[in-house]
Amino acid sequence: MSQEQKEAEKLIGQVLNGTYRLEQLLVTGGMGAVFRARHVRTGGVCAIKVLHQRAAMQGDLSERFQDEARIIAGLRHPNIVQVSDLDRDKSGMAFIVMELLEGEDLQDRIERTGSVPLDEALQITRQVSSALHAAHQRGVIHRDLKPRNIFLARHEENGVLTQTAKVIDFGVSKVPRPADKATRDLLVLGTPRYMAPEGAMGQNSQIDGRSDQWSVGVILYRMLSGKLPFDHENVIDLFKQVINEQPTPIEQLVPTVPPYVAAAIKRSLAKKKEERFATMLDFLQALEPPPAAPPFSWKRSLTFGLLGASLAGLVVMPLLVRELQGKKRSGQVAQLLVQADEALMDERWDEAIKLSSQVLTVPGQAPYVAAAAENIKRRVEKGQKISGDAQQIMQALANKDYDGALSRNRDLPPRTSFRITAQQHYDLLQQLVIAYHLQQAEAERSLGKCDKIEPHVAKILELVPDHVDALTARWRPCALITGQPPGAKKLAGYPPLRDLAGKPLGLAGEHDKAHNNFAEIDRSLRDAQIAHQHGEYMKAVALAHTATSVPIRSLPAWRIVGVSACHLKSPEILEYVVPHLDLASKEFVRSRCTAAGYKVSF
């Protein structure tokens, strides 16, 4: 049970502001918990959402919690959960009063039944799309739409049980306000498996209603097939799928899906948001079956065909020729503008300039056409500068020059948005993941939880097999030295250690006196760690042995020698190593030897 859930359960039975008694904990989430509550004077039931104490201490989350209440209260749509109050109790705890819904969320429904029948799935999608269209009209983007945030409310009406889809949880919505902290680029918000490519790339300034449309397309795909179009355990690989790969067509998984529904899903999952439907209303209309064609009549076709041909020959054709010539020029110009804009979006600067210049050379164009071409040229100049600045920032991040990256970023206008490639995003995420696991490994070490260190090290080595900091974290002692320290002769490395062929390795720490410094010692220790990682255990023994005479490096070095001896199945080397180990190091070597399938007796 999480700490947040424990804190939430303590609130059961409390009366907020002398009005709402919390009766039952329904669900806990990242920001808050939802309770079933009862009005103490009227007896009416409702749902109360409270903000977790930890989240309340973060000003941004507290502000978003209140935004959620104001957003929902302002929308007033039958397919959006209704909010009736926003307040704080005497202790300062913020809470939202909402309608109490009976039923289950769409996630539970899919997990229970595997998939949803076509008619019901389309009905749910229509209701959700209608709610989102209303929100988009008010400038509100949900940004975290997923089955868990769609509640299937059930109620009885005239003896008939009906179901209504309700959109809930607008906690990370994008709202029309200045300096929206949650719309900063490179900050990934939402649920990865339902996130549009622009969200996966952290381009929050590019998120709009078409990003929600992508999420609805993913949800409809899953309802019909029982599968996700993009699914990977590793979030980085998942983002690569979302950005670069095409999903399996829904008609291959569910052959009974009507072609118009399959086409609507395919378009809603277009990688470029410009290729999706312009609005949720357009997406809704695409889910309706096309009108049936009228029955064919030979008589009507011949009559109107002959009459039309006569008029065309006498009157229409001369006018049509002139019209087509003008339309041809206009069509060419429009195509050039579209191509120039696409080149601009793809940062093909020279091509965008060339195409817009071609537009300006076409005679007889309307003033707004020339203005559009000039505007593309100005955007190219601005884009080239921003792209250069972004490349410098990304290069600084890649070199771990965080101060330099921050300094360059500070010089840019606050509303500047960056376009980065999937590989650049991967490199940045990789650094963050490595830093996180190194931090967690050191935190576990400081708490004495030695067995918790290795999983974090393994995660880093999956990404970078020879990562020096991770290898160092693996071998560093995890507890204070206990018991009596080894004697002077043992620290000095007597008797000399020998390899499997009986050849002496030399005294511990014995190397060229001209290079007798910590840099050389650390280099040997680092090379020993890498050799062990690659299964070169004898090499690891020889390299680590040179660092054993330096007290500050001796314990990690002896650990490497001991574990390598187990892999070599050499009791002679292991017998020599054991007297140099403290109790914590013995436990470390013993556990690693057991994992390697070699039983030790110490």
Q: Which of 144, 169, 212, 341 is an active site residue?
A: 144
Maximum separation of any 2 CA atoms in the chain, in Å: 116
* Residue 51: strand pairing partners: 32
Residue type, 83: V
Beta strands in 184-343 (DSSP E): none
Burial of 499 (0-12, 13-18, 19+ CB in 10 A): middle
Distance CA 166, CA 78 (A): 8
Q: How would you classify residue 517: left for phi > 0, otherwise alpha for psi between -120 and 50, otherwise beta?
A: beta
Instruction: Give whole-number Cα distances, 20 to 4, 9, 23, 81, in Å.
Output: 21, 16, 9, 19
Phi and psi, residue 221, nearest 5°: -55, -45
Residue with tokens 């793809």: 346
Rounded Cα gap, residues 135 and 206, in angstroms: 17
Q: Catalytic site residue 346?
A: no
Q: Give the DSSP letter string of 152-219.
A: EEEEEETTEEEEEEEE---TT-B-S-TT-GGG-TT---S-GGG--HHHHTT-GGG--HHHHHHHHHHH
- Give the integer Cα–Cα distance in Å for 252 and 573: 61
Contacts of 483 (CB under 8 A, 6+ apart): 582, 583
Radius of gyration of the chain (CA): 33
Please give the angle made by the CA atoms of 211, 134 and 80, to the nearest 5 degrees: 95
How would you label 337-364 residue by residue, b for 16+ Cβ within 10 Å and e otherwise? bebbbebbeebbbebbbebbebbeeeee
Give catalytic residues, as residue numbers: 144
